[in-house]
A and B are shown apart, each in its own frame.
Chain A
Amino acid sequence: MRITNKPILLVEDDHVDTMTVIRALKDIRVTNPLVRQENGEEALNYLRDSNNDRPCIILLDLNMPIMNGIEFLQVMKNDDQLKVIPVIVLTTSEEQQDKVKSFNLGVAGYMTKPVDYLQFVEVMRSIDTYWTISEMP
């Protein structure tokens, strides 16, 4: 990541998926701290807490309990403070409507989680590469 001191916010309910992300980030030597929240509501609470560092990027799962990814996006993108933070959807769903809804809510990217871990690492590497080159707000 271009900005290394800001955290990456992972909104993910699955423990193994969280482990996968942490491991992949470690494999590709991303040093940013990773903050994990289990659902949309928790993520919003985290984001709205001024004590917390604002993340440089949000990795968002869609299918979560309590508040799912789409609902989270609908709240966040209506919040002037939060809507500038780039959100990358990281999901299992290849449903067209999920993609359409996500992009309508201004996501920066939509990635499907491959079953193969090595492929997953490549996905994470792409994200890192992109956000290393791309300017961030």
Chain B
Amino acid sequence: MFKNLTIKTRLTFTLSFLVAFLLGIETLGLWGMSKANDGLKTVYEDNVIPLGQLDHIESLLQQNRLLIAAALVTPTSEIIDNNTAILEKDIEEITKAWEGYMKTYLTPEEEKLASTFAEDQKKFVTEGLRPAIAALRTHEIIEANKIVVEKIRPLYELVKKDIGLLIDIQIDITKQEYKRQQDRYVITRNIFIALIIIALVMVVLISVAVTRVIFRPLEQAVKIANSVTTGDFTQQIDVRSTDEIGQLLQALKEMNDSLVTTVGQLRDSETHVRAMLNNLIEGIITINEYGVIGTFNATAERIFGYTEAEVLNKNVSMLMPVPYRDAHDSYLARYLQTRQKNIIGISREVVGLRKDGTIFPMELAVIETRQGESHIFTGSFRDISARKQAEEQKARLIYELESTQEELKSFAYVVSHDLKAPLRAISALAGWLVHDYSDKFDEKGKEYIDLLIKRVYRMDNLINGILQYSRVGRVKEQSVAVNLDQLVREVIDLLSPPANIVISIENTLPTVLVEPTRIEQVFQNLLFNAIKFMDKPQGEIRIACSSEDQHWKFLIADNGPGIELRHFERIFQLFQTLVPRDRMEGTGVGLSLVKKIVEMYGGKIWLESKVGEGSKFFFTLPKTVIISSN
């Protein structure tokens, strides 16, 4: 129960107890002193005064006898008168003194002796002194002398003996009383000494207790606090009491626990950061303002070929090739002075030096953080050798592609000119042969020449097809807002379909942002095919457009021969025709050209068809190229 009280209460309690204890001792001392005083008073009153009275009585008795004797020796009337008067007075005084003595405390023995003395005294006075005084007064000296010899002398001896005994007893009693008082004083003194010793012992005990209760736990708390300061969080802190020290220890324990938790979290966090650092794809190096390396993660190890231990606390310039190596220190110093940023906060390409001496390109970004007065620079980097190679390869590929493109362009040019020139010559010469030498040719010869010229035209068409096809995407026209409704009508006019074919536009076509020539080629080829292959006496061609999410969907439907499903892919391939060219002239370029143009604009083209019933060609154009729609 005592343990559960606070130190304040305990101290108050202990001090109160001490004060009470000392007050008790004090009271006891005072009491002892008053007792001693009482003792002294008793000794004085009960022993010394009676003794004095007895002495007085004794001396008076002696004086009585001497007065009588003196009066007898010189029995002049003057002396007799004088002495008898004194005697009378002395007797009175003795009586008075005796009365006084009798009033004091007397032991039974004393009382017995006193009564003897009183009787003897009375006899001495009545039988001795009074008759003597009477005889003297009457000057009967002989009589008086006789009384003295017969009565006064023996009686005096008796009385003297009695008073002597009383005095002896009184002295004895006084002695005893004194001794008793002496003993009492000794006892009192001893009690005091004992109490002082007890008080000292108590002080010692209280000191020990205070030490135990306050200072030792305080020292322990200080020790714990010091240990915590030096980073030892593992100690066991026992809280044994609920007092202030207990509270302090509890607070320390909670602080320690909280620190343990915090430190644990920090360690977890550090472990996490470290794990992260070591698992980053990028290399991480930190340096201080003197360029000294503080962190070197696993990727950095892998990239540079050094282990962390090999570079820690070394200057980062060891990772740089000459001449950057020599410039780095001065660069750092200059940055810290002028704050002029060269790399901090931005990412740039630099070169690094591996342990094996090879130099490699890397992309480096540096950020600066401050830890108190010092600067920490964190560089994150990646080895971009592969990327560089890829970039070079890409550049090479692009160059190759561009030269291929260039070759293609010149190929188209060669085709358009160099192939066409001889073709034209053949055509002209064949024509002149027919014209100039018609009489020299028989029917067979004329047929051959006719076939020759037809093949020339076919070849001319093929060449033109190649040229058209190669121009799509290569030769750029300005994209403008094209009103398709108007354009399609113009295309139909240009194609001038035969009377048995009706071309209808079902709804108003939108305005789109395209190259006019290209979109014209799309409609022209699709409509041209529909007209060209029409096998029904009443041809119907429908053009429609619908708006879908992100694009327009166009439809060109005919009631022609239709296309078998297995040819759906083939018809869009260059130079592929389904009908022999001798039966129906065609280059096989038209649909490939349409597909190329539609896809160039990000659209799709497909068809639905039933053999004998007709075909539906669909294509889409994204709306993003559209300016407005009617």
Which of A's residues lie within 8 Å of B, judged by CB? Answer: 14, 16-17, 19-20, 23, 62-63, 91-96, 113-118, 120
B431 CB contact (under 8 Å) in A92, A93, A118: A118
Q: Which residue of A lies closest to B476 (CB)?
A: A96
6 A-B residue pairs with CB within 8 Å: A16-B428, A20-B425, A92-B421, A92-B424, A115-B420, A116-B457
Asked, given contacts A23-B432, A93-B413, A95-B416, whether A117 binds B427 with beta carbons under 8 Å apart, the answer is yes
Q: Are A91 and B417 touching (Cβ within 8 A)?
A: yes
Asked if B429 CB lies within 8 Å of chain A CBs, one says: yes
How far, in angstroms, from A127 to B456 measured CA to CA in the complex? 26
A44: shortest Cβ distance to chain B, in Å?
A: 22
Q: For B420, list chain A residues within 8 Å (CB).
A: 92, 113, 115
* A-B CB proximity, top 5 nearest: A16-B425, A117-B431, A92-B417, A115-B460, A117-B428
Residue B526, interface by CB 8 Å: no
Interface residue from A14, A114, A116, A120 paired with B421 (Cβ < 8 Å): A14
Extra 13 A-B pairs, beta carbons < 8 Å, given A91-B417, A115-B423, A117-B427: A17-B424, A20-B425, A20-B428, A23-B432, A62-B417, A94-B416, A95-B416, A113-B424, A115-B424, A116-B431, A117-B428, A117-B431, A120-B428
Across-interface contacts of A114 in B (CB, < 8 A) = 424
Residues of chain A contacted by B432 (CB below 8 angstroms): 23, 117
Find A115's partner among B418, B427, B467, B475 (CB 8 Å cutoff): B427
B residues 407-446 near A (Cβ < 8 Å) are: 413, 416-418, 420-421, 423-425, 427-429, 431-432
A contact residues around B456 at 8 Å (CB): 115
Given A23-B432, A113-B424, A115-B423, the answer on whether A96 and B417 have CB atoms closer than 8 Å is no
**Contact size range, B:** 10 to 19
Given the known interface contacts A93-B413, A115-B423, the answer about A16 and B418 at a Cβ–Cβ threshold of 8 Å is no
Contact with A along B182-212 (1 / 0, CB 8 A): 0000000000000000000000000000000
Chain A residues contacting B475 (CB-CB under 8 Å) are 96
CB distance from B135 to the nearest CB of A (A): 200
Measured CB to CB, the nearest residue on chain A to B435 is A117
Q: Complex formed: what's the CA distance from A32 to B333 in Å?
A: 88
Q: A93: which of B416, B427, B429, B460 is its contact (CB, 8 Å)?
A: B416
CB distance B416 to A14 under 8 Å? no
Q: Is the CB of A63 within 8 A of B428?
A: no
Q: Give per-residue flags for B452-483: 1 if the beta carbon is below 8 A from chain A beta carbons, else 0.
A: 00001100100000010000000100000000
A95 touches B425 (CB 8 A): no
Nearest Cβ distance between residue B540 and chain A, in whole angstroms?
A: 34
Give complex CA distance A115, B418 in Å. 13
A102 to chain B, nearest CB (A): 14
